[in-house]
Amino acid sequence: MVLSIRELSTLLYYRREPDYVPGLASELTLSRYKVASPGNPESPLAQHENGLLSDMMRILAELKGKHRSDAFNKRLLGRSVALVEAIGHRMAYEAAQRAGVDPHILKLYEADAMLRDMSWYSERGLSTKEKTLNVEEEMLTLLYENLDQLLEHTGVKPYIFAPIVTDDSWKRFVAILPTLQGNAYVNIQDPVANIRARL
């Protein structure tokens, strides 16, 4: 059975009991279920997903396929969350890519996903923590410099009412705030002065 991203997300949503992640990982390891194949099997996230699943299948073979055993529980169930997260990261990345999400955002997402299991990427010579952190920093800088354009591209502007969003709307908001005055005097150079703001 091949699960699409919609079917996978629906499965994970409706199966809220604590065993859904190990259960799904077990079914994938036993080849009872399959998720949609990666669009680019050479991408780091796809390699991570495939590597984790291959490791689990190798261990299952060592156990002679005995999936209802203490050895299976000890050796494989602890790897379940990492496998399901890896599948989710790869599928989310590819869905965002198909939807035309900015490549810098995709690169930032990929770096963040890699940092969650950096040892795996390092052990296989795919990246180092320093290199991945540098990519993350570079993408954050680029995205911050273009934040206004990115927000404009989302089409949410008609739905944003907070005055702090633009300098002009903030100035208009501050201009209509009431100004309170009084006759109190405080010497702000006096280190003993206890100054408190009260509303």
Cα separation of 33 and 50, whole Å?
14
- For 118-150, write each residue's pLDDT tens digit: 999 999 999 999 999 999 999 999 998 988 888
3-class SS of residue 34: strand
Q: What share of the chain is helix, strand, coil (3-state, %, to 5)?
A: 65, 0, 35
What does pLDDT average to over the chain? 81
Angle at alpha carbon of residue 97, lines to 92 and 98, rounded to 5°: 100
pLDDT score for 2: 45
Q: Tell me the Ramachandran region of residue 166: left when phi exceeds 0, alpha when psi lies from -120 to 50, beta otherwise.
A: beta
Higher pLDDT, 98 or 57: 98
- For 34-64, write each residue's pLDDT tens digit: 888 899 999 999 999 999 988 888 888 887 7
Count of positions (residues) in the chain: 199
pLDDT score for 105: 92
* pTM score: 0.69
Q: Which whole number is the average pLDDT over 176-199?
A: 70
Tokens 């799904």 sit on residue: 24
pLDDT reading at 187 higher than 50: yes
Ranges of each domain in the chain:
1-99
